[in-house]
Structure 1
């Protein structure tokens, strides 16, 4: 396995100075010396010229990019690798305009690359959480006047999001986070996600605010509540009971969306949330490992038509 020690953009460009360098590295990373046909994993594979392979059972030809986000892309792997490094190493992400300048492509091309890369970020957004879990929702987009009570909307009107998109999150103390775009902040939208990712047998405590959609969690978990309507942000009885960590993470997400991307449509918001979660969960990992991890899980292909279809 080729395992170069890369610590900077300069070292990345030096390590992958040719397209063949990229192909050989990606082949090692994806197949680890044993080429597998994407059409029939049980088939014998024949090596052909120009980095092509043929699947014996199906007779089809393929290469290392087949079935991945790189498939049918006219952009070189050298530029793809540089784009992945820049996206995963930047703490707040990178805009398509900036990426276009950095790798020398049109802005529309850079946007397409970014969307394909973001489609792979979901690998870090399905963690089973345990221990002490903080749960909360936030709203992306729109104006402050549409937020719920502690976010400037009275409870009597419910949690309004006429011009906002709700995102529900679960954060394990000193651990990982999951976050998902939801249609609303009702119990039927929130609690199934909690039950899916937070197992009662491995959970010590779930902490939420007083929003009614969390009612009933005490049947399955040790459910502690922070009542924001009473200006309570840390429990007076136990200072470990609070949702400050996940609320702080929402600030990072919002600054990223508003500061870096300006506007994100509801259709694509989950991809940006996945990107945020990926970066948050790997915040203590080196840039090289973030780069390798994404490349190792790049077998998700997104077509341009899928991206532009409403």
Structure 2
């Protein structure tokens, strides 16, 4: 049974930390992007209001966060605890007395925020490998195939365009880059596009024998160790850490009984964040999650989330 966590933190202290971090980065107007922003009183809910001197518009500290227009924001911290504990939406709804449909949108706004937290640069020994998920259009009518019953299975054996490729790269400091890049095996162009500018200097790339990785290493003049056949380890150069990460990710995703491909990257972002926390549900971890979520811009409405389409770059 979850005891109410909000009094332990007081949302004021969370927003105080968020506002301090934003101020250190250079607090900017959400409308015009200028940094001529001043305090402009409080709302009836005791939220800080701001005013931009350039465009003369006002906004609150919850603007462009998952809490914007949230009617039961006092329950939001409790929901983060449920999220870390892996509770279903219906169980969470019973626990904190908020309808599960509302929690669905809360969850996806949180996922949208966390998906913006991704490794900018990988250094040292970098392991890279792709993993695959069967394409899912859960909740929609498939446009290019017949519907599967309860998830079903692929019609073709092995890798095909029915499988969605997720590229994951991770260094030994546990900095992790993840990206849903499309159907089937990744091409050299997609690897260069998504991973090329994230490789630091003096790195060692550990991968399997996919040709695209060899070309990536050659183009960036970096050393590469390749896993071939049964030879999995060469001293400290291997891809066992990334394979273990894939296994943990897939086990964790099983609890959702199938995820629509359009939401997949958000769930990977959530797993990656919780994996870094070691799924610790202490007060400190929940507050850290709350602050990190509120630091990222989320302007999606409920309709934006519901009508989201899969986009591959």
TM-score category of the 2 structures, normalised to the smaller one: 0.7 to 0.9
The equivalent of 2:222 in structure 1 is 221
Paired residue for 1:131, among 109, 120, 124?
124
**Pair 1:70-2:71 in alignment:** no
What are the residue-to-residue correspondences of 1:256-271 with 2, within 5 Å?
A: 256-258=252-254, 260-271=255-266
Which digits, 9 at most, give the CA deviation of each residue in 1:270-294, with x for residues without a partner? 1111112222334397524533442
Q: Partner of 1:116 in structure 2?
A: 109
Structure 2 distance, partners of 1:59, 1:290, is 33
- Whether contact under 8 Å (2:80, 2:290) holds in the other structure is no
1:252 to 209, 229, 248: 248
Q: Does 1:294 find its partner at 2:292? A: yes
Rounded Cα–Cα distance in structure 2 between residues aligned with 1:300 and 1:56: 20
Question: Is 1:45 equivalent to 2:39 in the alignment?
Answer: yes
- Residue matched to 2:189: 188
Query: Which of 247, 268, 272 does residue 273 from structure 1 map onto?
Result: 268
CA RMSD of aligned residues (A): 3.0
Q: Which runs of 5+ in 1 are unaligned?
A: 1-7, 154-158
Please say which of residues 127-136 and 175-184 is displaced more in the overlay.
175-184
Structure-1 separation of matches of 2:29 and 2:205 = 45
Larger mean CA deviation between 208-217 and 266-275 belongs to 208-217
Deviation at 1:305, TM superposition (A): 1.4
Match of 1:5 in 2: none
Q: Distance in 2 between matches of 1:240 and 1:145?
A: 36
* TM-score of the two chains, using structure 2 as the length reference: 0.77
Which runs of no fewer than 5 residues in structure 2 stay unpaired? 136-151
Residue of structure 1 equivalent to 2:207: 208
- Give the Cα separation in 2 of the matches to 1:245 and 1:112: 33
Distance (whole Å) between structure 1 residues aligned to residue 80 and residue 271 of structure 2: 15
Contact between 1:46 and 1:56, CA under 8 Å: does it hold in 2?
A: no
Q: Deviations over 1:168-220 (max 9, x none)?
A: 11010242211110114222222332212112x241x1011112222323422
SS in 1 for 2:130: strand
**Corresponding position of 1:241:** 237
* Paired residue total: 276
Are the structure 2 counterparts of residues 83 and 139 from structure 1 closer, same or farther at C-alpha, using a change threshold of 3 Å? Answer: same
TM-score by length of 1: 0.77
